[in-house]
Amino acid sequence: MEGSGTLLRQCPLLLPQNREGTTYEGFVTAQGRDFHIRILLPVDFQLQNARIECSWQLKKILHGYRRILKQRLHSCPDLVSFMVELKTILEIALKNTPDLHIPRPPEYYSCLIRDLEILGWNKVVYVDTGLATIKLKAEDSCGRQHLITLKLNAKYPAEPPDCVVDFPVQFAISWMPQNSLIDIYNQFLAALESLKEFWDAMDEIDGKTWVLEPENPTRSATRRRIAVGNNVSVSVEVDPRHPRMLPECYFLGADHVVNPLRTKLNNNMHSWDPEMGLLQNLKDLLEIDFPSRAVLEKSDFAQDCGICYAYRLDGTTPDHVCDDPRCGQPYHQACLYEWLQGLPSSRQSFNVIFGECPYCNK
């Protein structure tokens, strides 16, 4: 390729991988650091159609500069010019990226290793190669496994690490420069116990009822859509701080089935007992037994959409049901809206469409 000698001078660690000179692989250097990169050129060497593959570190550093890089690809006459531009942009990005350009002092590593030894390596699940990200594991008093991810900056322990947890509430740590990882871990354990009743209630729902949504709930999920019967469900939003209190309830299904449930909830609301479990309270208020996982399958009450013939569509499930007791066919809201929009007999009032059921024509 023309200018390959100049390219070698600019990027001595970037080498051609084929005779045609359409594939280059190696490293680009900036601020004394080498970053892996691969460049795939079309046969006509037009840079605007080139593809660039790079390591996740480089991708993260250049994330905010993607538009500029795309412009440079379109405007540079050859690969040499582009690599000069890329190195300039990378230098700027490294200067503007927190912590990446700050070398961690030896005291950082010695302090961190000491803290990990005091904490106990048996609690460590993961440590990255730069000793900047650490994952710790813990069990609550009910034996549930939990993880906390710590992202440490170069000023640790003068500054606390960022903590990432799968909690339904914010997890804020108190930190002093003399603190260590064991202080964070103890605060993590205390937070787990404060959420014990919430997770007990959600685990009981997950274990004893058919939960339609979410399919694989995280520990931070506060909502459950529970099957009540054929194409009828109740969505409950539990307050993680007060899991024994009456949750927000929203019924989904045909009106002739849902309305009696709403009436029972309103009439029996006064008898909610905070000393009883959430699930038992819901059964008593609604005067029902939820379909059992031991007796019924999910398919017994979770039908596919009558229009697209799928159960899950873009993360949603069929939650609009025909009101006719002899039909009761469920639909995705998006499918039903599109169907009714295409019918000449449908009428619309603001954002509500009135029309015939695609299944029974009622």
Look at residue 2 in the predicted model and tell me its pLDDT: 43
Q: What is the pLDDT of residue 1?
A: 42
Strands in 133-139's sheet, in edge-to-edge order, are 124-127, 133-139, 145-151, 162-165
- Compare 122 and 98 and report the one with higher pLDDT: 122
Q: Mean of the pLDDT values across residues 328-356?
A: 82
Share of the chain above pLDDT 70, in %: 94
Best mean pLDDT range from 96-100, 310-314, 327-331: 327-331
**What is the mean pLDDT of the segment spanning 42-71?**
85
Q: What is the DSSP letter of 164?
A: E
Strand partners, 33: 30
pLDDT of residue 9: 76
Residue 26 has pLDDT above 50, yes or no: yes
Residue 103 tokens read as: 């070398």
pLDDT digits (tens, 9 = 90+) for 216-254: 899 999 999 998 887 788 999 999 999 999 999 999 877
Helix (H, G, I), strand (E, B) or coil at 124: strand
Q: How confident is the model at residue 36 (pLDDT cuts 50, 70, 90)?
A: confident
Give the pLDDT confidence score for residue 61 in this predicted structure. Answer: 87
pLDDT at 315 over 80: no
Rounded CA-CA distance 57/246 in Å is 47
* Token couple for 169: 């509430």
pLDDT band per the 50, 70, 90 thresholds, residue 270: very high
Comparing 300 with 87, the larger pLDDT belongs to 87
All domains of the chain in start order, with CATH: 1-100 (3.10.110), 106-200 (3.10.110.10), 209-302 (3.10.110.20), 303-361 (3.30.40.10)
**For the segment 187-227, what is each residue's pLDDT rounded down to a tens digit?**
999 999 999 999 999 999 999 998 988 888 999 999 999 98
Q: What's the average model confidence in pLDDT over 34-45?
A: 86
Residue recorded with tokens 């539990």: 238
- Token pair 């603190």 is found at 179
Q: Determine if the pTM surpasses 0.95.
A: no
Mean pLDDT of all residues in 343-351: 80
pLDDT of residue 100: 52
Q: How many CB atoms lie within 10 A of CB 123?
A: 16
361 φψ region: left (φ > 0), alpha (ψ -120 to 50), beta (else): left
Report phi then psi at 36, rounded to 5.
-70, 135
Q: What pLDDT is recorded for position 281?
A: 95
